[in-house]
Amino acid sequence: MITLLSKYFDKRKSIKLLTKKNLKLLEQLINSKVAHPKIFVEAFTHRSAVDHVMFKESNERLEFLGDALLGFIIGEALFNAFPAEDEGFLTKIRSNFVNKAALYDCAKRINLLQFIFVGAELNSGTRNGFKTILADGVEALIGAIYIDCGMEKTKQFIRQYIVEPNLKLGMHLVDENFKSQLLEYSQAARIENPKYIVIGESGPEHDREFTVQIKIGEKIWGEGKGKSKKSAEQEAAKIALQTIPAEDQKYLHKPDTNQSPK
């Protein structure tokens, strides 16, 4: 049995095809006619639903493609928007635009919930689990747009729903790459670089939780939990930054609030 996160899917028909209503909504969203509906059904299929349906492809391959496109297109957009900034600035800002939180915000912005469907076992999943599913779904959708509609429509979608909203929100002024901040601190303070160690994993496969410990030298600086190793590492680094003594705060980089896109 599958659980449809969308009321728009026609439960009486094969989910290989989008309904006319849903197809129209999709075409309005991506501002393009859909030539191959099947690729979008694949983009909307979470792996937990694959065993319950005739359609045997999940969205993980498209997620991989979308992730690569997202990094490139946002990188290009920021390169053009901030012509006077260096690589370090652009790298940090890009991370704010492509992380799971930003992609989840995009999923809410485009109401992706009306398209995605998952296995019924995820009904009992955590809110964070659904956030990850929707964030991954944005990447898969980007991959599908590229295959079906081409690069220009892909760029248009990413600019409209990710780049421009985040610039308006001032996300280019927020430095939430805590790992990067901690690495910069360790190098400026001339101490050993941080090491991240996975010390625990728990939960079912579709709702895993990782625990990561961070060490600098022989000292434990923090411990974080997350739905992925990366998010657990970021949480551990965030906690570690909070333990830096006041006299060492001078080594921390502070974002320039006067930055604005061109």
Q: Please, are residues 68 and 156 in contact by the beta-carbon 8 Å criterion?
A: no
13 pLDDT band (50/70/90 cuts)? very low
Across 35-49, 158-172, 246-260, least confident range: 246-260
The answer on pLDDT for 67 being more than 70 is yes
* Separation CA 18–CA 229 (nearest Å): 35
Homologous superfamily (CATH) for 2-173? Ribonuclease III domain (1.10.1520.10)
Catalytic residue numbers read 67, 139
What DSSP string runs through the chain? -EEES-SSS-TTS-TTS--HHHHHHHHHHHTS--S-HHHHHHHTB-HHHHTTSS----SHHHHHHHHHHHHHHHHHHHHHH-TT--HHHHHHHHHHHHSHHHHHHHHHHTTGGGT-EEEGGGGG--HHHHHHHHHHHHHHHHHHHHHHH-HHHHHHHHIIIIIHHHHHHTGGG----HHHHHHHHHHHTT-PPPEEEEEEEES-GGG-EEEEEEEETTEEEEEEEESSHHHHHHHHHHHHHTTS-GGGGGGS----TT----
What stretch(es) of the chain map to CATH 1.10.1520.10? 2-173
Res 128: pLDDT:
56
What stretch(es) of the chain map to CATH 3.30.160.20? 178-251
Across 91-95, 126-130, 135-139, least confident range: 126-130
Domain 178-251 fold is: Double Stranded RNA Binding Domain (3.30.160)
pTM: predicted TM-score of the whole model, two decimal places: 0.66
173 pLDDT band (50/70/90 cuts)? low
Which two tokens mark 80? 């053009």
* Separation CA 125–CA 46 (nearest Å): 13
8 pLDDT band (50/70/90 cuts)? very low
Q: What is the mean pLDDT of residues 180-187?
A: 84
Q: What is the mean pLDDT of residues 164-172?
A: 79
Res 172: pLDDT:
57
